[in-house]
Chains A and B, each alone.
Chain A
Amino acid sequence: MSDALLKVRDLKIGATVYPPSGKPHDIEIVHGVSFELEKGKVLGLIGESGAGKSTIGLSAMAYGRGGVKITGGEVWVNGQDILKQGIRDLRRLRGANVTYVSQSAAASFNPAKKIMEQVTEAAILQGKFSRKEAEERAVHLFDKLGLPNPEKIGNRYPHQVSGGQLQRCMTALALCPEPDLVVFDEPTTALDVTTQIDVLMAIKAAIRDTGVAALYITHDLAVVAQVSDDIMVLRMGETVEYGPVDQIINNPQEEYTQALVSVRSIDHEEKLPTPDPVLTVNHVTARYRGTNFDVLRNISVDLHEGQTLAVVGESGSGKSTLARVITGLLPPAEGEINFAGRALSPALEQRSKEDLRELQMIYQMADTAMNPRQTVGTIIGRPLEFYFGMRGAEKRKRIKELLEEIEMGDGFIDRYPAELSGGQKQRVCIARALAAKPKLIICDEVTSALDPLVADGILKLLLNLQKIENVAYLFITHDLATVRAIADSIAVMYQGKVVRYGTKSEVLSPPFDDYTDLLLSSVPEMKLGWLEEVIAHRKMESAGN
């Protein structure tokens, strides 16, 4: 296959690390990866964070982010080894032949310039098109990508359009110079699931219509299965498995790939409601100070002892605000909350120590929820001291028990958060919440920042702990697969209201309301052709209406 557009041979990439203790030294993060990509084909690069997939993707532009350096191997684009090229040739390559779509379009657009100027910049600068031609092409791409008002949207500033729209603008930016290859780096990861499907469709159609080749980088196998011809599974800088998409999804050879394919297949039998709920949210309406917009409107939900209520919704649906109201950070404007058989005072300051102890919280970013200068032992020991007055050997014994419960072992007691992996950090946060012996833990997107396999481990741990400690979870998430795995009952939120509420089987069985239907049908499924099915289904429905 000498006519391959992109040929990567034995690529080695290194970086300099600066450990907190010890001298900076060089490490290798990609250990000899090889692959080929033909014109008009899409190769999916998949792996968890730290697998080196973004780094490999950027090497197609001979670019190393931060201190990352390509240390060995060959990268051939259009028959030229770009690793041997000087910066001038590379600049021509980057703007014109190979372009890049990043995860966060919001950060990747210059806030001070209009969208049109940024979309056409490379094409004009590289002499591919005149300004007029480039702008016409941009409008054409905006239209093709399904952006509203394609003639005018280029005159807006990045902050004036929504996240999903901006991500599509970024795709237009990458496609505008008519490149041979586009590197998509997690282009839909930061989007809501209902937005993701639109962007995914738009990207797929644009790739098909322009005949451009693409490297599609993501951690979500279900997503990459929809757009790729081939898939390469990466782990810790090495190829695990590389083959056609059909083989990877339907007949994975390696154990790691099999685990990725079967992720989120936790089987959780739902528990039936009990007569006395531990938490009752009664007709709660809330708004932020200084505004008269109701962020929550007349919310009523119950949560039963030792069970899990999943609150699902997109960003802006009010699900985190509900958590703030229950914890007392935002006193409700109307309505009341009953907890463990007593009325909970609306404001945090008036709550008793007992209220505080029995209601704990775990956050999305375990990183920022821990003091980086405290050891794991200090972090977990703090609630033991504060609520139970434990000291010395007694406290240390209890910390070790908790570390056992979260399946980490007492070897971690004197470690600092920086020395832990993402999953371990979240486990420590769980142990800290458990230390207070709570009746209810509010889990706010606790698995969203984690890789799928790690997230699975956390969900299994939470289910296990629920069995042992009989603790109830209010589980806030945007991810329906997580909901299936952990919930006993579900509340679907949309624009500050609960649009659907009931036991898991009730909520997830038809007939659906429009929003729940949209939400459920937007969750990528691990099968080929899923995206086309959804598109066809939606077209039929809209034709039927």
Chain B
Amino acid sequence: MHPILKLLVQRIALSLLLLLAASAMIFIGTQILPGDVAQSILGQSATPESLANLRAELGLNEPALTRYFDWLFGALQGDLGTALTNGRDIAESLGTRLKNTMFLAFWAAVISVPLAIFLGLLAVRYQNRWPDKLISAVTLTSISIPEFLIGYVLMYFISVKLGWFTSVSTIYDSMSLGEKLSAIALPVTVLTLVVLAHMMRMTRAAILNVMQSAYIETAELKGLSMFNIIRKHAFPNAIAPIVNVVMLNLAYLVVGVVVVEVVFVYPGMGQYLVDHVSKRDVPVVQACGLIFAAVYIGLNMVADIVSILANPRLRHPK
């Protein structure tokens, strides 16, 4: 077996193991929460009898291990159970929500990743001169301000004062792509501002690190322009750390957008999760947790794989 294939298989196996561990943690976490689901569903109308009935119906009397494996095998087959609060199929409701979140994350990524890398390259090109300092200052400021504040400020100026975009980003299936994009313009802007700084600074640091290498001097002594040196010689060797931080930020775009979704009333996973946490709807919380974990682990696995593939020593062994 090619050594690189072996490494990749190892990575993927490790990620699956990690996902299994995460599912166990999620399940345990929801089990040790105080209170009782049946109690919270029935609320005031609970009698000892109705509680016992409901527990039996929900399978809450089974041992925890049995319930875990039931849940896990169900999830593997795409059955995430039914929501306790409204009795709807979780996979179905989650599907739409996940699609919306992915839609938002996708457009935020399409704008922020190239922009961040471009700004990082620009900062290296003009290292310690005013463009570098300006880029650092602006991105650091935008990451330091809480996202809900940026959200409300943008809403005030752009939707209220200027009226360019709506402040409520609710989207429906019946909307055209243009309408949808217009609706999510503001949350995408906020998310871009939030994730830009990390990626830009990592790009800058990774490339500057490579710029210390002797082969950069070789390139300089070949008469290459600064831009060509960065593009041809520095960037290919800085891919691994950049991809890592890009993936972490993409993961954040999917799993960390709760606040932005709530601010802009966007029908994504985050809002769905928040709604059901407050209603103590354990199966929904578990399902959301599992999907977030899968996204996180999956994206980091991709980062690992790209790092491995980007290493010429691994790709072309002696």
Contacts and interface: CB of A to CB of B under 8 A. Distances in A.
Chain A bound to chain B:
yes
A159 B221 contact: no
A109 B218 contact: yes
Contacts of A110: 215, 218-219, 233, 236-237
A294 B218 CA distance: 38
B154 to A, nearest CB: 41
Contacts of A104: 214
Interface string A45-77: 000000000000000010101000000000000
Given A102-B218, A108-B214, A113-B236, A159 B313 contact: yes
A112 B224 contact: no
A96 B225 CA distance: 14
Contacts of B232: 113
B162 to A, nearest CB: 45
Name which of A92, A113, A156 has the most chain B CB atoms within 10 A of its CB.
A113
Given A108-B218, A109-B218, A95 B312 contact: no
Contacts of B213: 107
A110 B217 CA distance: 10
A66 to B, nearest CB: 10
Contacts of A113: 232-233, 236
A125 B219 CA distance: 11
B318 interface: yes
B297 to A, nearest CB: 28
B48 interface: no
Nearest to A103: B214
Interface string B295-318: 000000000000000101100101
A112 B312 contact: yes
A99 B312 contact: no
B220 interface: yes
A125 B316 contact: no
Interface residues of A, number: 31
B222 interface: yes
B222 A112 contact: no
Interface string A192-204: 0000000000000
Given A159-B312, A160-B316, A107 B214 contact: yes
B215 A108 contact: yes
A94 B222 contact: yes
A160 B318 contact: yes
A84 interface: no
A111 B213 CA distance: 11
Interface string A109-122: 11111000010011
Given A107-B213, A110-B233, A63 B223 contact: no
Contacts of A159: 312-313, 316, 318
A111 B223 contact: no
Interface of B: 213-215, 217-225, 228, 232-233, 236-237, 310, 312-313, 316, 318
10 contacts: A65-B217, A93-B223, A99-B221, A108-B218, A110-B233, A113-B232, A122-B223, A125-B223, A125-B224, A159-B313
Please give me the 7 A-B residue pairs with the lowest Cβ-Cβ distance, nearest first. A95-B223, A107-B214, A91-B223, A122-B222, A94-B223, A112-B236, A110-B215
